[in-house]
Amino acid sequence: MLQQLAQQATATFCMIFGLLGCATNDVTGQDELRLMSQAEEIRLGEKQYPQLIQQSGGRYVADPVVTDYVQSVGQRLAQVADRDLPYEFVVINDSDWNAWALPGGKIGINRGLLLAMQSEAELAAVLAHEIVHAAAGHGANQTAATQLGRLGLDVLGALIDNPAARQASAQVGSLVLGGARAKFSRTDELEADRFGMEYMRRAGYDLQGAVELQERFLAKSKGGSAVSLFATHPPSADRVAANRVLADRTTGGYRSEQAYLSATQSLRDAAEGYEALAQGIKAYLDDDFKTALGLADKALKLDKREPAFHELRGFALLGLKRFEEGLTSANQAVRLNPDYFRHYNLRAQLYQGLGRLLDARSDYQISLSIFPTKEAQAFLDRS
């Protein structure tokens, strides 16, 4: 009711004054105040995008089949979106259930959430929801409105809940995205659900995928699981019911369970490895380097293509002061994902252990150019 009044007021205001900052929202068709141009919106998102990827665990790179698949489903939905933006989809190497959208159309989904889903229709539900946040300018409006440089992120509890992220933040120190815990309003969330399902329908997906996904979330939250996604998207029976009403109006469409399970098979094959990784990081943080090493080796038996497994091995060997062996693991991690800052921080520490200070300096410089950390800065200031 209040919201309706506010919308009417905005529409009237725009009609009378015909202000420059008034525009029709491409998604909702409603008049609203626009405090940021589309070019500014895209620029803001593009600036934050690489930093957010670094901050949340880096890109998932172990199996390109997974990323190609997520990108193709994302682009299929982007094509039916109401606003043309440079949409881009990235799989984040993090076990937590999470997804986010930046202003301008940059969208991330965690590896952990992919592992939890069972069909392409469910994946489409998540991506369509995030596309609506970007297309409707939810994050941009919020950012402009607050003028605090906060981001329209769906997430970021990840920094606290997730051990890998904790390890990162322990080493990262000052995060460039400080205070980026902003979340969308409840109205924005309902809008993203509603129009997200409309995008699914346009792209030919079975809308039951959105209902099933919400049911999965509800079951997990009832089981007491605290995942980041729920901080911003509290699952509720009401939400499931609302989505079901929408879904029941349209029948048919793709579910594509087989396609989904086959494209994401690597994640299931390595699932125990990712569990070992989480335990290994915990052991490393407890200074139990021997246990961390054992868990890294266990994970590597399941998937040698995962740089995070090599990285854990490198950190464990660093803790055990077996620098030369650690270097082999760090080199593997760098080779598999040369774009992730933390691999360079690890290798720099191993070089330090070996007394190779010039090599350490060079790695800290690379690390710093990707993502600023106190640790890298301190070393470079000293040397």
Largest CA distance in the chain: 73
Instruction: Return the number of the residue (90 or 308) whose C-beta is nearest Zn ion.
Output: 90
In degrees and rounded to multiples of 5, residue 111 shows phi and psi of: -50, -40
Is residue 134 a contact partner of residue 101, using CB atoms and an 8 Å limit?
A: yes
Nearer to Zn ion, 117 or 192 (CB): 192
| Of 154 and 303, CB closest to Zn ion | 154
Interacting residue ranges for Zn ion, rule: CB under 5 A: 154, 189, 192
- The residue with tokens 């598999």 is 336
In the numeric block, which tokens belong to residue 97? 């259930």
Kindly state the smallest distance separating residue 212's Cβ from Zn ion, in Å.
17
Using a 10 angstrom Cβ sphere, with 0-12 exposed, 13-18 middle and 19 or more buried, the burial of residue 223 is exposed
Instruction: Compute the least distance from the CB of residue 196 to Zn ion, in Å.
Output: 9
228 vs 332, which CB is nearer to Zn ion? 228
Q: What is the DSSP string of 164-181?
A: HHHHHHHHH-S-TTTT--
CA-wise closest residue to 63 among 228, 217, 273: 273
Question: Helix 163-172 and helix 374-382: axis angle, to 10°?
Answer: 30
Q: Is 234 helix (H, G, I), strand (E, B) or coil?
A: coil
Give the span between the Cα atoms of 286 and 230, in whole angstroms. 28
State which residue, 94 or 188, has the beta carbon closest to Zn ion. Answer: 188
What b/e sequence results for 116-134 when a residue is b if at least 16 CB atoms lie within 10 Å of its CB, and e otherwise? bbbbbbbbbbbbbbbbbbb
Q: Which is nearer to Zn ion, 186 or 222 (CB)?
A: 186
**Single-letter amino acid, residue 109:** I
C-alpha closest to that of 67 among 16, 30, 109: 109
Nearest CB to Zn ion, comparing residues 88 and 154: 154
